[in-house]
Amino acid sequence: MNRGAEPEDGEGFPAEFDRIEAAVDAGATDLRALGFWRLMAKVKADRALATHWAEQAGRIDRKAFERSVRVRFPLWLGNLVLLLGVGVGAVAIGVALATDSETLAGLALVFAALTWSAAVHSPTHWLVGRMIGLRFVSYFFRGLVPPTPGLKIDYATYLRASAEGRAWMHASGAIASKAAPFVALAFWPATVAPSWAAWGLAGYAALLLATDVFISTKKSDWKRFRRELRIARRHAASG
């Protein structure tokens, strides 16, 4: 496979990439078991290497994804559905502001917070990602109980982007989701909603923040944020 001039490395990158791609072509989809992500950790430590291997790494990642995730949705459809969710939340705020029913106003505020926190996450990743030059492949469902929308990144563009930009792309969705109950709470004084609605929104916000602290820093967006910032520091230190 002709890749042009390859950066110097003592890690056997060409053989490793070819081995993993051959395994994926043969039907394997567990990139972790194949050592792909360990290889990526080495490649991303050097920005020149990351850029050089971006095309093949992106090709491997996409093939494994498409073979393991059969139900996928176009980007325009996923963004449209989720933005409609944001609109539904805004309608709920309008109901809360207009109604004279305390119970309805309280329920509408809580509904808006729940809807917004679910709907804004992936579109925010998409927007910030596009701003730093990322492309995306499709939407898909993460897990089954409950199914949550996932957004698949074009990994070649991910590797070509700056590590700092990647870090903030990961953080953006988490920040947007956690902001949702605070935005809904800001409307509470202008409604007739009872105090339990305000406490419910505050409690939901606290639950989301606790989830970030105890789970996301170990498994999800904030873990990736910290990982990419560490890489950005290494790149800055090496010039």
pLDDT at 2: 40
pTM of the model: 0.90
pLDDT at 9: 53
User: Locate tokens 């309280």: which residue?
Assistant: 106
pLDDT at 97: 98
pLDDT at 144: 63
pLDDT at 11: 65
How far apart, in Å, are the Cα atoms of 200 and each of 28, 91, 109, 188?
Answer: 46, 19, 10, 11
pLDDT at 7: 47
Per-residue pLDDT of the chain (239 residues; tens, 9 = 90+): 444 444 445 468 999 999 999 999 999 999 999 999 999 999 999 999 999 999 999 999 999 999 999 999 999 999 999 999 999 999 999 999 999 999 999 999 999 999 999 999 999 999 999 999 999 999 999 876 577 899 999 999 999 999 999 999 999 999 999 999 999 999 999 999 999 999 999 999 999 999 988 888 888 899 999 999 999 999 999 87
pLDDT at 148: 85
For the CA atoms of 58, 61, 66, 69, the dihedral, rounded to the nearest 10 degrees, stands at -140
pLDDT at 216: 82
User: Locate tokens 């194949």: which residue?
Assistant: 34
Q: What is the DSSP string of 141-189?
A: EE-SSS-EEEEEE-HHHHHHS-HHHHHHHHHHHHHHHHHHHHHHHHHGG
219's tokens: 């498994």
- Domain positions in the chain are 13-68, 72-238
